[in-house]
């Protein structure tokens, strides 16, 4: 009995005694199969078994089928798991350890340093375009749009209204006094009360609607009271009728 227990302990394999698992998504069994492929001496048998392992890898990871050139990725994973020791023919370029560790070229990221960071770089571009505009009517339109955006940004950040003079003073500081907005309604701050007044004028959710709703509610209450009175009189006369709802 003790001998069999010792044999079982000798046959048991712990993770601490195993080699490093290179790609966890494929599991330990796939890695052992690829290690067996490396040990096969006959190149034809090794090539045939390599194709079988590729099919099994694709079956275990069906999500790779949605990836472009997924079979190319499977072959790359095959050589990666074998630590680039597997010698088989691949329908794709065989990767090497150097190409795997090679770093990609750095992407050119646009470096934009806005003068007024709280307004952003895009507004600065619009201001420059407005300053280069020669048509006075378009120039005024640019000024009104810029002032409207400035007031909208201020309301979003501070949650309070701002006077047009403050917007004009900041616009003057930014443009050196070259832009002035004159169309005040376009930079009018948003107020919830304005929407309620507009709905009341249009007959929306205003007083007329509430009056009609209250009148209908009172009418229904009167009808219910009259029906209850009739039922009470019938009960007193000894006539029991089925109550209707």
Average pLDDT, the chain: 76
| pLDDT band per the 50, 70, 90 thresholds, residue 159 | confident
Q: Measure the CA–CA gap between 120 and 132, rounded to whole angstroms.
A: 19
Neighbours of 82 (CB within 10 A): 19
% the chain with pLDDT above 70: 70
The two three-digit tokens of residue 238, written as one number: 């000894």
Residue 212 confidence (pLDDT) = 59
Question: Is there a contact between 65 and 58 (Cβ–Cβ < 8 Å)?
Answer: yes
According to DSSP, residue 91 is labeled: S
pLDDT for res 120:
79
Average pLDDT of the segment spanning 172-186:
73
Contact 57, 74 (CB under 8 A): yes
DSSP letter for 176, please.
Answer: T
Nearest-angstrom CA–CA distance, 183 and 165: 13
Give the tens place of pLDDT for each residue, 40-99. 999 999 999 999 999 999 888 887 777 778 889 899 999 999 999 999 999 999 998 888
For residue 187, the model assigns a pLDDT of 45
Q: What sign results for the dihedral spanned by CA atoms 107, 113, 118, 120?
A: negative
Residue 240 has a pLDDT of 45
Is residue 125's pLDDT more than 60?
Answer: yes
Residue 58: CB atoms within 10 A of its CB come to 15
- Between residues 215 and 174, the one the model is more confident about: 174
H-type alpha helices, the chain: 2-11, 27-39, 43-60, 70-81, 97-101, 121-131, 136-158, 164-175, 192-201, 207-236
Whether residue 225 is predicted with pLDDT greater than 70 in this model: the reply is no
Beta carbons within 8 Å of 49's beta carbon, 6+ residues apart: 33, 36, 37, 40
Residue 24 has pLDDT above 60, yes or no: yes
Residue 206: pLDDT band (50, 70, 90) is very low
**Higher-pLDDT residue of 37, 227:** 37
What does the pLDDT read at residue 155? Answer: 81
Are the C-beta atoms of residues 166 and 153 closer than 8 Å to each other? no
Q: By the 8 A CB rule, do 88 and 47 touch?
A: yes
With 70 as the cut, is the pLDDT of residue 7 above it? Answer: no
Q: Residue 243: pLDDT above 80?
A: no
pLDDT at 245 over 80: no
* 4 CB-near residues (< 8 Å, 6+ apart): none
* pTM, rounded to two decimals: 0.44
């Amino acid at each position: 009995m003790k001998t069999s227990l010792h044999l079982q302990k000798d046959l048991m394999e712990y993770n601490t005694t195993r080699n490093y698992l290179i790609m966890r998504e494929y599991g330990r069994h796939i890695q052992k199969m690829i290690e067996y492929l490396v040990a096969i001496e006959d190149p034809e048998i090794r090539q045939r078994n390599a194709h079988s392992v590729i099919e099994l890898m694709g079956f275990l990871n069906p999500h790779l089928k949605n990836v472009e050139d997924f079979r190319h990725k499977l072959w790359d994973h095959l050589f990666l798991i074998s630590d680039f020791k597997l010698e088989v023919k691949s329908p794709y370029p065989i990767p090497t350890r150097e190409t795997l560790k090679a770093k990609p070229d750095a992407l050119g990221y646009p470096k934009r340093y806005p003068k007024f960071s709280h307004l952003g770089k895009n507004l600065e571009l619009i201001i420059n375009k407005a300053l280069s505009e020669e048509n006075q009517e378009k120039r005024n339109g640019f000024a009104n749009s810029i002032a409207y955006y400035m007031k909208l940004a201020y309301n979003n950040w501070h949650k309070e209204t701002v006077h047009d003079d403050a917007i004009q003073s900041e616009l003057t500081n930014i443009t050196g006094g070259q832009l002035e907005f004159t169309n005040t309604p376009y930079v009018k701050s948003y107020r919830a009360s304005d929407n309620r007044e507009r709905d009341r004028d249009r007959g929306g959710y205003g007083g007329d609607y509430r009056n009609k709703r209250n009148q209908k509610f009172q009418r229904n209450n009167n009808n219910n009271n009259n029906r209850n009175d009739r039922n009470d009189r019938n009960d007193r006369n000894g006539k029991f009728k089925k109550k209707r709802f």
